[in-house]
Structure 1
Amino acid sequence: MKLTLEARAGSLQPYLLLVPALSILVGFLLFPLIWNIYISMHNVSLTTILGEWKYVGFKNFSNLLSDPDFHMSLQVSLLFVGGSVALQFFVGMVLAVVLNQQIWGSNAFRALFIIPWTVSAVITGFSFKFIFSDSFGVLNYGLEQMGLNPVAWLSDPGVVVWTLVIANMWHGTPFTVIFLTAGLFSISPVVYEAARIDGATKIKSFFYITLPLLKPFIIINLILITMWSVNFFDLILVMTNGGPLFASTTSSLYMYRQAFEFGLLSKGAAAGFLLIGMNLVLAYSYIRLFRRKERTVETRQM
């Protein structure tokens, strides 16, 4: 009987050790989420926050979905996130493959590539605002010196989003480089040597060896940089503050404005909840996409 009790206590020990971590997880993640949902279903603003909170159900969500400015922010977010993820992944993959080669100075370059990622997004925003400024920007000054017309990088509604994409690419690409480089290090050189003996070229080795073996790293990297781009806020606030004419107001910046500039805390909470849903849908879509490709390859092999 005593042995049975000790065995039961031993089986419960791993779960008991998880209690502190789960408590922190509930306190910092689950509780704010529930509180956010609660606020979004009541009429709360900065002027009525100390008063009575009237229950309105899903009215804030319906008002949000019928707001043209919110629709505009979704379009801006789609361009910003799509451009940022595509450029960060492509440039990061190229740099990771190049730095993985045994060339002189590759270790030093890996260390240097970390710097942009460690710099605060606010500092990055101010730096790129100085570079892309319409009136005193370094880039336009260089264009004028070459006899070219200056570009309204931050004041042209058709250009400003892509300017932000470039700034975000510079800030976020080092993470992709580091992450994919770690994945490349995990691939044994013996695999490449065997492929080389069989007559495989470097291009074939990349597509048939490197990419398949990097798939777990690629999935995680795409999920992370997509979520970070969806929620990206501070660099955009510093560089454009959502302008001109809301042309660079992403969904995250829209949420901030509704809650803290206009004082509509309930509407901002509803926008925040929808952003969480967008992140979950995008993460699930990536996983399903890669699983579907994997099943297709297995079916062809059979």
Structure 2
Amino acid sequence: MTALTEIPETPEVPGAPAPVAAAPSGRAALVLRRFLRDRSALAGAVVLLLLFVLAFAGPYLTPWSYDHIDYGALRAAPGPAHWWGTNRIGQDVFAQTVHGLQKSLIIGLLVAVLATGLASLVGACAGYFGGWTDRVLMFLVDLLLVFPSFLIIAIVSPRLRFGGWVAFVGLLAVFAWMITARVVRSMTRSLKEQPFVRAARYMGVGPFRVIWRHVLPNVASFLIIDATIQVGGAVMSETALSYFGFGVQPPDVSLGTLIADGTGAAITYPWMFFFAAGLLVVFVLAVNLVGDGLRDALDPTSKGGRR
């Protein structure tokens, strides 16, 4: 009988630390590492953070309220009393700008969340169920795409002034989800034929659970990128509509109303125009940088941080 050869045990070294199994890094950690390696995306995120801090902490940094009038300083240049000067009726430009930035950011975030959420729900249901569900939902999408959204919002928004800016958010969100829904529908139609989705169906998993657990996570990268773009687009839409008097209504202010009020004085009193316009440009650029960084970080084939 052949004797079994014993494998000698590795002697323990006194004082040596015990070996620890390496913890597997999750997808969130991988995405975060890719994002942090992208310098332009990281710069955009820092700028966005600073803008949010300015918008929500700025009103507490100045003794002036956005609607307070200083009759002794009409169109005053920037100085110690009014950091960014005053407008034509003596309102502090810094207080008005940070309040307008705050309102525009809130509107942009709410519109992005509502529009992206609605697009993901409608697109996933249309692509997964198919048949009459797909036909009805896509008919609704095509119908809304035919309507001139800017004109409809301009006509309807003055009649919803009792609802304030919340009703305005709803109007912007209603006309901002259709193209995204079509893309999600196409992605869902290809995903539902994948083996893991078919296996879930054969195991008796309900359709909405399949959509929630298997479909939406696989289109999450597109939805996140779309949401970042929606924020910038919603702020631009709000600014344009408010510029023409169809958005945020006085005495409230937004970046659009401030830009509209300061346009005529952009040459003679530039502080009334360029602070609000500059913050709008910086915000849109930062959102685009963050969106590009998220796209690279969430794309499995991307080598994040190559820029």
TM (norm. structure 2) is 0.56
Q: 2:241 aligns with which of 207, 228, 235?
A: 235
2:107 is the alignment partner of 1:80: yes
Is the deviation greater in 69-78 or in 106-115? 106-115
When residues 71 and 165 of structure 1 are mapped into structure 2, their CA distance, relative to the original with a 3 A threshold, is same
2:181 is the alignment partner of 1:127: no
**Which contiguous aligned blocks of 4+ residues in structure 1 show a shift greater than 4 angstroms?**
261-267, 283-295
Q: 1:170 aligns with which of 174, 181, 187?
A: 174
Contact 2:111-2:170 at 8 Å conserved across structures: yes
- What residue number does 1:254 align with? 258
The offset of 1:218, in angstroms, is: 0.7
Is the deviation greater in 262-271 or in 78-87? 262-271
Distance 2:206 2:296 in 1: 27
The offset of 1:178, in angstroms, is: 2.1
When residues 224 and 106 of structure 1 are mapped into structure 2, their CA distance, relative to the original with a 3 A threshold, is same
The C-alpha deviation readout for 1:195-229, integer Å capped at 9, x for no partner, is 22345443442233212210232123112211111
Distance 1:252 1:175 in 2: 25
Distance 1:225 1:161 in 2: 18
* Matched residue SS, 2:130: coil
Q: CA RMSD in A?
A: 3.8
When residues 104 and 115 of structure 1 are mapped into structure 2, their CA distance, relative to the original with a 3 A threshold, is closer
- What residue number does 2:44 align with? none
Q: 1:160 aligns with which of 157, 164, 187?
A: 164
Distance 2:102 2:187 in 1: 33
- What residue number does 1:107 align with? 135
- What residue number does 2:218 align with? 213
2:276 is the alignment partner of 1:271: yes
The C-alpha deviation readout for 1:167-205, integer Å capped at 9, x for no partner, is 111221223322322332342513321222345443442
Contact 1:77-1:230 at 8 Å conserved across structures: yes
Contact 2:126-2:134 at 8 Å conserved across structures: yes
2:191 is the alignment partner of 1:187: yes
* Matched residue SS, 1:172: coil
Contact 2:241-2:256 at 8 Å conserved across structures: no
* Matched residue SS, 2:191: coil
Contact 2:168-2:247 at 8 Å conserved across structures: no
The offset of 1:73, in angstroms, is: 0.5
- What residue number does 1:29 align with? none
Distance 1:213 1:171 in 2: 25
2:222 is the alignment partner of 1:222: no
| Bigger proportion of residues as helix | 1
- What residue number does 1:63 align with? 84
Q: Which amino acid aligns with 1:165?
A: V
Contact 2:229-2:291 at 8 Å conserved across structures: no
- What residue number does 1:146 align with? none
Distance 1:260 1:117 in 2: 35
Contact 1:124-1:167 at 8 Å conserved across structures: no
Q: Which has the larger radius of gyration?
A: 2
Distance 1:238 1:115 in 2: 26
TM (norm. structure 1) is 0.57
Q: Which runs of 5+ in 1 are unaligned?
A: 1-55, 57-61, 134-152, 296-302
Q: Which amino acid aligns with 1:80?
A: I
Is the deviation greater in 218-227 or in 264-273? 264-273
Q: Which runs of 5+ in 2 are unaligned?
A: 1-76, 78-82, 86-91, 301-307
The offset of 1:96, in angstroms, is: 1.4
Distance 1:186 1:265 in 2: 53
When residues 211 and 290 of structure 1 are mapped into structure 2, their CA distance, relative to the original with a 3 A threshold, is farther
